[in-house]
Structure 1
Amino acid sequence: MTYLAELFVILLLTKIAAHYSVKLKMPSVIGELLVGIIIGPAMLNWIHPTTFINYFSELGVIVLMFIAGLEGDLKLLIKYWAPALTVATLGVIVPTGTAFLLCHNLFNFSVKASVFMGLVLSATSVSITIQVLKEMHRLNTRAGAIICGAAVADDIICVILLGITSSIYGTSQHESIWSMVLKMFLFFVIVLLIGKFIVPKFLSIFQDLNATESDTAG
């Protein structure tokens, strides 16, 4: 199957599944996920995880997160940072600890493998969370701000812990833990500053352009 045919099948079936998910009073993302399972290698094996599919899916996640960032209310996230951080911390500790104990004691995994399994299972799918909140019109509410903040903080904590764990258990030479954590922190700060001060200026420029693609580009 050519990449154009794959793209056609994916878009057609996901739109149909999303439509019927909404009809059944469920988020459209549920139908889209089910289509991925059905036509993917797990069942019908129509679509394979090729390079094109990987890039296309990454692009979709980037666009979704960018749109959510445009529609989100940063003031709400800052206002409810404390409960969001509490939820995120518990969302890392409980799944990581539970998965570690199960893998190490029940399945006889090594300590290293159990730690990695716990951290991987504690990561949150921010894109799916935001999509569901958008459809429910709860993105810019107190609950939505706490959920989004917790999901983002959860992933940040997991990334930092995975980096630290890789430095401790990795077989090859790695940079110091503090240097790696500092780089991660600087990355998030730079991205936050760009989204706060630079992106709005570009959007204002795009809105003044007399071109039909200006809204899409923005």
Structure 2
Amino acid sequence: MAVAEANEALADTAMGAHFDMTGLAVVVAAAVLLGLGLTRLKQPAVVGYILAGVILGPSGLQLVERSGSMSVLAELGVIMLLFLIGMELSLKAFMRVIGPSLFVVAGQISIAAAFTFLFGTVLGWPTGQSLLLAFIIALSSTAVAIKMLDDIDELRTPIGQITVGVLIAQDIIAIPMLIFADSLGGRGFDWLGVVKSVAALVFVIALVRVLSARSKIHFPFTDAMRGNADLMTMGSLAVCFSAAAVTGLIGLSAAYGAFLAGLVIANTTLRVSAIKVTEPIQSVLVFVFFLSIGLLLDLGYVWDNLGTVSIFVILVLAVKSIVNIALLHLAGTPWQQAFPAGLIMAQIGEFSFILASIGVTRGVLDSQGYQLALTVIAISLLVSPFWMANLRRFHDVAAQGVIDLKATLAEVYAVELEEMARGRALLFRTAHGITLRGRAMRKAWKQQRRSRKASDDADKSEKS
């Protein structure tokens, strides 16, 4: 009976009875086009995926809805993302900057918590909400920051090393954050969640130290798996999902297990092969995750709360920039390196989407707070490269000793002002040309009318 039903379902699917490919084609095409467009503008492609969800979702063209199956795929995307981050983590490089990196991350979380608890006291927020918002604000985007470092050729310089070190430390500490956020609820503070989070963090740091101190691990059947792409893919996924299932069963986050599995594979001889075969799967699932975020963004909410959203985005970027630069300098980074590194980490990261999603699911964030968090995160990701590029210009001009505001603005935006002057000159020439052409056409039209009238008068006089 089950076999017959399966065969019937396969036949129906093959004939197109249960699945319309049009919607899928539109979604993928829109995501690719927006991703390409934003890449050309020096933006990360993930922002294009979010915009695709906004445009095609319930608040846009209403071509796509967030379904249960999409939520499952988005959750798998998060698991695969953490699995890949674990595999790509360079433990030896991280251990060289682990001290300053952990100091900076601890400072980021502490200062973010101070701000959110201050606001929470005034606005009457519960303790859990204040702490969750601190986690959301403290994290930066690894994908966006590394792309920006690569764009300005600083990825392998001291600026890139300390920035990547801080981002890796954030990724490690984000795992206990996810566990703690998952333990929150309307009942308030959960000490068991705190114990789980601390234990998870201690275990991750211990695992990093152990793995970084030893040579590559050689798994059984390594040679057989490396020579077969199918076995390599299925073996990697089996390790990832098994670890996620185990941590889920013992009351921890499934993403935590996936991250640990990635760390272990990163220290084996299968690392390069595993990354190669799992990265395409991860890319598709992460695309679904960011698309689902876009589906949740409400354009009506953004428009109705444009002032509030703008203030929060500017505050987040400005305060995070100042805090990052100060903490990096206190950790021993020279000002010349701390300034660009701090600006690069000014945005809010993709882990914060996950924290916000857990928060609204557990009742820690209400729908208004959730929409505000999603909107601010998405916009901060979008404008972060522009923010960094402009402030770095101001820094370079200030380093030259220019103090006067008008002179500073003129120096910072010299290229844009020159282009605007050229544009105005071109516009003036175009308008002047159109005016002259108009005058000539009116003159020709009047002459034509006079000639026609003279001809008509001559015809009338001949007839009379």
| TM-score in same-fold range (> 0.5) | yes
How far apart in 1 are the matches of 2:22 and 2:203? 38
How far apart in 1 are the matches of 2:110 and 2:116? 10
Q: Which one has a bigger Cα radius of gyration?
A: 2
Aligned residue for 1:129? 142
Aligned residue for 1:66? 83
Aligned residue for 1:142? 161
- Gaps (5+ residues) in structure 1? none
How far apart in 2 are the matches of 1:47 and 1:80? 44
Q: How many residues align?
A: 211
Contact 1:91 1:154 survives alignment (8 Å): no
Map 1:22-171 → 2, pairs under 5 A: 22-105=39-122, 108-112=123-127, 114-122=129-137, 124=139, 128-130=141-143, 132-133=145-146, 137=150, 138=155, 141-156=160-175, 158-159=177-178, 162=181, 169-170=188-189
Percent identical residues? 18
Contact 1:3 1:52 survives alignment (8 Å): no
How far is 1:38 from its partner?
Answer: 2.5
How far apart in 2 are the matches of 1:123 and 1:38? 28
How far is 1:142 from its partner?
Answer: 0.5
Letter in 2 for 1:129: T
Contact 2:38 2:48 survives alignment (8 Å): yes
How far is 1:90 from its partner?
Answer: 1.9
Contact 2:226 2:232 survives alignment (8 Å): no
Letter in 1 for 2:227: D
**Structure 1 50/73 Cα, relative in aligned 2: closer, same or farther at 3 Å?**
same
Letter in 1 for 2:93: L
**Structure 1 118/136 Cα, relative in aligned 2: closer, same or farther at 3 Å?**
closer
**Structure 1 153/188 Cα, relative in aligned 2: closer, same or farther at 3 Å?**
closer
More relative contact order in 1 or in 2 (CA 8 Å, sep 6+)? 2
Contact 1:76 1:145 survives alignment (8 Å): no
TM-score (norm 2): 0.37
**CA displacement 1:26-46 (0-9 Å, x = unmatched):** 222222222223323443443
TM-score (norm 1): 0.68
How far apart in 1 are the matches of 2:127 and 2:108? 20
Aligned residue for 2:277? 216
**Structure 1 198/6 Cα, relative in aligned 2: closer, same or farther at 3 Å?**
farther
- Gaps (5+ residues) in structure 2? 1-17, 234-275, 280-464
How far is 1:21 from its partner?
Answer: 0.9
**Structure 1 7/200 Cα, relative in aligned 2: closer, same or farther at 3 Å?**
farther
